Structure 1
Amino acid sequence: MQKAIAFLGLKKCSKPFKDYYSEWFKELKNVHLPQLRRAMSSATVSPAILTAHVDAMQRHFIAYYEALDLAALNDVAQALFPDWRNSLEKPFLWLGDFHPYLFTNLLRSFLEDDDSDEDARESREDFGKPWYLDMAWRSPPRALTARIDQIECGLRLMVPALAARARHAQAKFVDRVGREWGRCEGPSEEAKSAVEESVAAEMEELVDVFVDANRLRRSVLTDIVNATDVYQAALFLESLAQFLVGFNDKKLLAQFEKYKIPVT
């Protein structure tokens, strides 16, 4: 892996990740989500066409996580502590991005939705989605539910382990930088050099933890798509994309900001 010393040299010239995310988000909202929905709302859903749009949506998410890895290598601070995230998004963040439990909890919402009566079917068709597509999650095979259980079990093991590594790495970072700063008498080139050396020595573990957390998010998303059929995957990815788009709804965000309790 790239040495953390590169972080010190590259962060001043690297493009802010928030600019990349803004472009990525616009493409998700204005291109991939509408195209997937059009394919899903067709009177006769073509598996081949739907598969192409599911693949495109998945690649879009994977490209984002790959870019996030590079952002962490260039400047782990902007990746771990994204101050450009809005107040609706921040409670859902874990080690710099959305918690992987978001994926599995969203997946569980499909399994637990057993509303399959005739009125529900007509309601879904009113929204332009054929009822037989929405019925894709009814009575899922045992192999699928077993695979989902495995994915969730893996998360329950990995999330606490990564959180512990992050706490340990941050504690070491703060301790070493604090000690080096304390040894120096006032601001000087010697103090700056000592602190930069300590930052470089301890930053690499923080980068490693972030990249591993990001790899976990990417693998969970891929595992879910691979475990499902094309109809199930389309519904899951549509809901995931809409969830992210909803965080940037101006009316919802304004209402949330309006009712925030001030700190006194």
Structure 2
Amino acid sequence: MRKDDIKTFVTIVIVCLVIVVLVLILNHKSNSDKLETVNEYNTFFTVTSYINDYINNISNQDSSSLYDVLYSDYIDKKNITLNNIYNNIEEYPINSSVKVIKMEYVKVKNDYIYYVEGKVNQITFDGKQEIDNNFKVVVITDFDTLSFAIYPLQEKDNYKKIIDSIKKIKIEDNKNNKIKNSSLVSKEQICVFYLSDYVDKINNNIEEAYNLLSDQQKKQYTLDKYKEFINANIDKITTDADKCSLELSGTNRVYTVIDINKNKYTFTEKNIMNYNVSLYLEEKAN
């Protein structure tokens, strides 16, 4: 073999080795390093429903159903039985539900792990009360057995370490942990979803509502001016949507909602439950 041929062969071998090493490095990224934001509505609402089932089992003191949806690693780690189950989870009262504000996922072979953050609210006779503003949980789905499981997180828990520790997903199915068939979510449902969310903020956390305004409207209103504007028109604010449209602005979905009082809201979505809003209220006649 000639010298030039040998050099070419060695170069090819080195390049191939470098490619193999890079592929191995990329494939060995941890699960938590591969987390992505959930931007598919059906997935978002289906996973949210699993979490609300879990919370309902807690508030209803249904130990058996609660045990059925806990992830086996969590059960083993905490030595959980039906008798001590409530010593190892956060308890919530009747009529509690989660409002998800962040949902990420990673695919593990054909299955999925979800990391979820949110707030837990309770509906009472006096209205809605926030009872947990730092709710966190991991949800695991197994598509071989068509089952899901919940891994509760406490404040001290490192969710990335927990997600990275899940190497192989195997969930035993039972009557309480079956994966649900989700129906398609329409743009009208999303419009109502965002309108209700924003009106709730106007009524219960006016500063948070102000912070969600578009940059353009923040230049138009100071916080105090915004409060005055809302208070002057509060009786016209409603969650009853009349018209809804969807457009794309780059990669962002933009929903325009007109309510029955002709108030107009434009929601620019960064990802699900992360949006900015511009609103144009029909002001009261003097």
TM-score (norm 1): 0.24
Indicate the structure whose relative CO is greater, using CA pairs within 8 Å and at least 6 residues apart: 1
| Larger gyration radius, structure 1 or structure 2 | 2
